Amino acid sequence: MIFVFLGVKQYRDKENGGEITYMKALKVGFLITIIPSVAFGLFDLIYVKFLDPGFMEKYYSSAMEQMKASLSSAEFQAKSQQMAEEMKMFSNPLAQFLIMAITVLAIGTVIAAISALILQRKPKFKTA
């Protein structure tokens, strides 16, 4: 996400004459964030489908063992039912892609907002 900050700074300094409003910086940062969002979504899909097809089962099995050790029987039953529903949802490739892409997009948007706040420079008004 450092590339969001550096991209907004580059745009402000090289393309926009050293000035940028908060909203323009936010838009530039958001647009930069879209690229890694899609890339991470695709990578997650490729990883789970082709590189490690058993990843989801291993992950849920490990999570279930940890929950069984730390929760009461009733809590474990409720959580295991919830985990089974989540596993069903994550078995859908489109859901996997969207969840990862949206997660990265949300984090990137926060970074873009912070970067825009730090890097904004209002245009200087010239007096005639």
Instruction: Please state the domain extents for the chain.
Output: 2-119
Q: With a cut of 70, say whether residue 128 has pLDDT above it.
A: no
In the predicted structure, residue 125 carries a pLDDT above the cut 90:
no
Mean pLDDT, the chain, rounded, equals 91
Residue 119 near residue 47 (C-beta atoms within 8 A): no
Cβ pair 38, 101 in contact under 8 A: yes
Match 């078995």 to its residue by tokens: 91
Token pair listed for 76: 């474990």
Nearest 5°: phi and psi at 63?
A: -65, -40
Residue 23 has a pLDDT of 96
Concatenating the DSSP letter of every residue in 46-81 gives HIIIII-TTHHHHHHHHHHHHHHHHS-HHHHHHHHH
Q: Other C-beta atoms within 10 Å of 127: how many?
A: 3
pTM here is 0.79
Q: Which two tokens stand for residue 63?
A: 């999570």
Region 61-78: what's the mean pLDDT?
A: 89
